[in-house]
Structure 1
Amino acid sequence: MNTIIAASICIFLAGSCYFLMNWMTFFHRQPDPSVEDKFLAFTILIVATFFWVLLIPVYCFRLFTKLFLHAIEAIKQPAINKTKLTTGYSEVLRTDYKVKSQI
């Protein structure tokens, strides 16, 4: 159990460091940030650093749920009977011909 906790902490710290490095690179590209810009950037950094751990599993859960539901729908669909397969184009033409001939 301790190895799982240690691995989780290492993954969290690695992700946080990666995010911090990307944020620092982006933040230093601004030539002259105001005090308000610095405060907002720091707030976003703190919030994103703590909540990225929650957002990634939620996104993965939604993605896998969506894929699972599509797979179930694909399994439940009945097989196509190829003997009765029509495009519908010829049926429309025949109907139009009958209607025109009756007029």
Structure 2
Amino acid sequence: MASEPLSQKEIEDRLRELPGWSFEDDRILRTYRLGGHRAAAALVVHISVVQDELNHHSDLTLGYDTVRLSVNSHDAGGRVTEKDFALAERVAALAPAHGAH
């Protein structure tokens, strides 16, 4: 069953609840800065566990002390859906425990 894309207003409203997240090119995005490479890698591993739990995966980029997420829903034609925000909310909740900001 395909996910329903959110409207521009719905996306804007939801982003107000997720500081640091933005919308660009039909994706929601966030870059986290961490204390070093090991902390960044640990955050990526934790995010991968959440993605598997939700069966919804983002594009993750690991830098030396950064983690960048970019997410949309392939089953909605590459548009943003509720599933993307569910993932973003989970990541936003766990990131501070890794020292991410």
TM-score, normalised to structure 2, is: 0.26
| Bigger fraction of residues in helix | 1
Q: Which has the higher strand share?
A: 2
* Higher RCO (C-alpha under 8 Å, 6+ residues apart): 2
User: Which of the two has higher C-alpha Rg?
Assistant: 1
TM-score (norm 1): 0.25
